[in-house]
Amino acid sequence: MSALPLWWPVQAQNLVANPSFEDVNICTEFSAPCAPAAWESVSPESAKLDYMFHQYSGGAGNNLVRLVHRSQDALRNYAQTRLLCPLEKGRSYRVTLIGWQDGDAPPVIELRFDTTWVFRETGHQLTDLQPGLQLDAASVVATDGKKRVFTLQREFTAADHYTHLILGTFRKRPWSTAKIYNYIDSIAISPVSGIGPLCTDAAGQKDSLYNQRRRHSIPSRFYENGEARRRRALEGQLKCITVRVKDHTIFTAAGRAQNPEAAARIDSVVKVYEPATGMKVRITGHSFREGSFSYNKIVGEVNAKKVMDVLIYMKGFSFEDITVDSRGNTQPAYDTATAEGKEQNNFVELEFCMPRPLEEAPVAVAPPAQRPDTLVVPDVLFHFNSAVLNTKLHRELDKLLQKIPTGRPVQLQVVGHTDNRGEEDYNLELSKRRALAVAEYLRLQGWGNYIRHVSGEGEKHPAAPNETMEGRQRNRRVEIIVYQGMD
């Protein structure tokens, strides 16, 4: 069964915004392409949504999201969105999903419908939620031997007037020594019967979803869900600010430079501290070193006490206002299957709690993210009216790519442009094919893992007037936008 015949007929009534993840969100925290527009991560601070570029055949586009299906730990990431129109209780719908999977296990994707967003502080598997639909009746077609393309389709009857959708793994799965991912290329949800336009609010709902551009942190109105809310309820009307740091070096110049946002949050609390205000501080150490729980509990406590010493002896905090605890290696917040994830699980969490709001305190703002650099691949590096790069000019392209910084995190966005001569649709297609050609060259040069988004804009964004030959030549270009900073 071919993937595309299932996908295209339902586009007109698809209730999912940005269903093939082609539209990118440039998040405000880091001014970088961090997620597909309209989609959110359930745990953006610890298990963010992996947004990736691909060039596999058989899909609806060149961008996808990657979700952890199985691993040796309980950490998972999830994709969620608000539907363009609520489901009608008792009405039948069809869901069609296209994607790829690593490994030989049959692909399984689970969907959960809800009436609100779901956010969590840590990336643990959502086994506390009812999973809802399980899509496991797959049509699997072999591709390159490494990944298998699959199409999942199922009809269901809406049990309520649901407004939100979550994709991921809810049921407990057999653990795996290596991570197994599901790569989601596109999803459609549409009524089984009946034709016509979507609800009258669909366009406004899409605009609202696209305009939400803060994707690396939990929205403040949801931050006290779950365990945090229950804990605070036991303590009365406390307003708490939680800050996660590597260790006591956050108070040094080097530590502040590595994590300016955490340093700014700590500064905002330190400025208003007075013993008489009733502020209480909890410092909890977490350690994920090789060794037993007892050993890690001791290491976590030692690191927490070092932070306490700085607050007391350098920042003027009272010993009576601070409590120290250690969770050892029992509550990892990051992926434990990789060396990088294990290292990230060595941290200290500070909770500054006051019986009255901290809104009147001046809050320090972290330095703005560095503006991205734009490298322009000119028209002359392609064959005439073609998306094929001129091999004789690869040296010139290599000189351009040498300007991409090494030794620091970068994310790349590749955007193709044309002049206004010719048909608009042809120009749009040519710009996309040229952008894909540059992306493929970047991959061959070792930059493939840093590409986040590839698109073609056709003639929509000229860099110069199209009335002159020189202007048109400037407009025929591919831009490599280099974002520096956190991924």
In this prediction, residue 486 has a pLDDT band, given cuts at 50, 70 and 90, of low
Q: How far is Cα 411 from Cα 372, in angstroms, rounded to an integer?
A: 10
In this prediction, residue 353 has a pLDDT band, given cuts at 50, 70 and 90, of confident
Q: For residue 257, is pLDDT > 70? A: yes
Q: For residue 342, is pLDDT > 50? A: yes
The CATH number of domain 373-484 is 3.30.1330.60: yes
Q: For residue 261, is pLDDT > 70? A: yes
Q: Which of 263-277, 311-325, 347-361, 454-468 has the lowest mean pLDDT?
A: 347-361
287: left (phi over 0), alpha (psi -120 to 50) or beta: beta
The CATH number of domain 3-215 is 1.10.287.70: no
Considering the entire predicted model, what is its pTM?
Answer: 0.63
- The answer to whether 96 touches 151, Cβ cutoff 8 Å, is yes
Establish whether domains 226-354 and 373-484 are of one fold. yes
Confidence (pLDDT) at 262: 87
Q: For residue 5, is pLDDT > 60? A: no
Q: How far is Cα 168 from Cα 256, in angstroms, rounded to an integer?
A: 35
Of 330, 114, 130, 349, the closest CA to residue 228 belongs to 349
3-class secondary structure per residue, the chain: CCHHHHHHHHCCCCCCCCCCCCCEEEECCCCEEEEECCCEECECCCECCEEEECCCCCCCCCEEEEEEEECCCCECCCEEEECCCCCCCCCEEEEEEEEEECCCCCCCEEEEEECCCCCCCCCECCCCCCCCEEECCEEEEECCCCCEEEEEEEEEECCCCCCEEEEECCCCCCCCCCCEEEEEEEEEEEECCCCCCCCCCHHHHHHHHHCCCCCCCCCHHHCCCHHHHHHHHHCCCCEEEEEEECCHHHHCHHHHHHCHHHHHHHHHHHCCCCHHHCCEEEEEEECCCCCCHHHHHHHHHHHHHHHHHHHHHCCCCCHHHEEEEEEECCCCCCCCCCHHHHHHCCEEEEEEEECCCCCCCCCCCCCCCCCCEEEEEEHHHECCCCCCECHHHHHHHHHHHCCCCCCCCEEEEEEEECCCCCCHHHHHHHHHHHHHHHHHHHHHHHHHHHEEEEEECCCCCCCCCCCCHHHHHHHCEEEEEEEECCC
What average pLDDT does this structure show over 11-26?
86
Q: How far is Cα 56 from Cα 47, in angstroms, rounded to an integer?
A: 25
**Structural domain spans, the chain:** 3-215, 226-354, 373-484
CATH of 226-354, one of 3.50.50.60, 1.10.3720.10, 3.30.1330.60, 3.30.360.10: 3.30.1330.60
What average pLDDT does this structure show over 7-36?
76
Confidence (pLDDT) at 140: 57
Confidence (pLDDT) at 109: 85
Q: For residue 362, is pLDDT > 70? A: no
In this prediction, residue 286 has a pLDDT band, given cuts at 50, 70 and 90, of very high
Q: Which of 30-34, 157-161, 224-228, 238-242 has the lowest mean pLDDT?
A: 224-228
Confidence (pLDDT) at 206: 92
Q: For residue 9, is pLDDT > 50? A: no
Confidence (pLDDT) at 217: 74
Confidence (pLDDT) at 149: 76
Of 252, 224, 246, the closest CA to residue 300 belongs to 246
In this prediction, residue 336 has a pLDDT band, given cuts at 50, 70 and 90, of confident
Confidence (pLDDT) at 102: 63
